[in-house]
């Protein structure tokens, strides 16, 4: 194991757990050490032009490409580079830390890079339907420097009940949002420039 591996502080995991139980989501600035965020950004940038695939929606085995709902391209992280492995290690630490505090029974974590080109979007959706999915906690980590007000591409989180806006999140470098997958409808507004992120899900083992 690389000694440079950043570990999340127990204080940070406490704060994440507190926010998740109080309001169901948490927004974190400067989530990772800068060199890790920078390496992930560089890797996403270089891979996005070659190996990303148009994203699917629906069940894993029955993916449909539906340009009407989402238009981004994705690539799953499998730990095939040092920065991917470091990111997955951190999320593993978070998984264990959240299970200890919240008894969520999180079983594993999956994540992919996403690339939204100019004009791309992801319309309002839920990441999981109650009782039908093993996705429990959604995470999105952003990799974009100098996001301007007119760049679009905000993540809008809605309240489940009134569909009122809870939070409008610009996809700013090294920012991370975590939210309960079944609880918050959300959308990515049309992006006016390239937008890179890592979307991930902590899952329970339902089978």
Q: Which residue is nearest to ligand AKG (CB)?
A: 155
Task: State which residue, 69 or 102, has the beta carbon closest to ligand AKG.
Answer: 69
By rule CB under 6 A, what string of x and - marks binding of each residue 77-116 to ligand AKG? -------------------------------------x--
Per rule CB under 6 A, is residue 155 in the interface with ligand AKG? yes
Per rule CB under 6 A, is residue 197 in the interface with ligand AKG? yes
Task: State which residue, 39 or 153, has the beta carbon closest to Fe ion.
Answer: 153
Q: How far is residue 78's CA from residue 90's CA, in Å, rounded to a whole number?
A: 14
Spatial strand order of the sheet with 176-180 comes to: 25-28, 176-180, 135-142, 195-203, 108-116, 73-76, 53-54
Number of residues that bind ligand AKG (CB under 6 A): 9
The label of the residue with tokens 């920065």 reads 83
- Bridge partners of residue 110, in order along the sequence: 201
**Least distance between ligand AKG and beta carbon 198 (Å):** 9
**Least distance between Fe ion and beta carbon 79 (Å):** 23
Binding positions for Fe ion, rule: CB under 5 A:
127
**Least distance between ligand AKG and beta carbon 27 (Å):** 11
Q: Other CB atoms closer than 10 Å to residue 152's CB: what's the count?
A: 21
* Residue pair 154/168 in contact by the 8 Å Cβ criterion: yes
114 binds, among Fe ion, ligand AKG, none (CB under 5 to 8 A by kind): ligand AKG
Of 90, 127, 143, 180, which one interacts with ligand AKG (CB under 6 A)? Answer: 127
Closest among 178, 91, 93 to 140, alpha carbons compared? 178
Closest among 92, 69, 56 to 185, alpha carbons compared? 69
Closest among 118, 119, 97, 95 to 108, alpha carbons compared? 95
Per rule CB under 6 A, is residue 139 in the interface with ligand AKG? no
SS3 57: strand
Closest among 203, 205, 14, 37 to 98, alpha carbons compared? 14
**Least distance between ligand AKG and beta carbon 153 (Å):** 8
Interface ranges with ligand AKG (CB under 6 A): 114, 122, 127, 140, 155, 186, 188, 197, 199
């Amino acid at each position: 194991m690389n000694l440079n591996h950043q570990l999340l502080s127990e204080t940070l995991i406490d704060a994440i757990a507190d926010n998740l139980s109080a309001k169901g989501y948490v927004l974190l600035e400067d989530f990772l050490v800068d060199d890790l965020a920078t390496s992930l950004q560089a890797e996403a940038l270089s891979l996005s032009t070659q190996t990303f695939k148009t994203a699917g929606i629906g069940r894993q085995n029955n993916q449909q490409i539906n340009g009407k709902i989402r238009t981004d391209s994705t690539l799953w992280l499998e730990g095939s580079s040092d920065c991917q492995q470091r990111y997955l290690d951190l999320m593993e630490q978070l998984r264990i830390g959240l299970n200890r505090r919240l008894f969520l029974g999180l079983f594993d974590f999956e994540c992919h890079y996403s690339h939204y080109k100019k004009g791309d979007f992801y319309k309002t959706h839920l990441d999981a339907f109650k009782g039908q999915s093993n996705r429990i906690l959604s995470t999105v980590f952003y990799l974009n420097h100098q996001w301007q007000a007119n760049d679009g591409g905000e993540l809008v989180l809605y309240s489940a009940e009134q569909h009122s806006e809870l939070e409008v999140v610009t996809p700013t470098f090294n920012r991370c949002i975590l939210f309960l997958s079944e609880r918050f409808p959300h959308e990515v507004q049309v992006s006016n420039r390239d937008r890179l992120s890592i979307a991930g899900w902590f899952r329970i083992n339902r089978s």
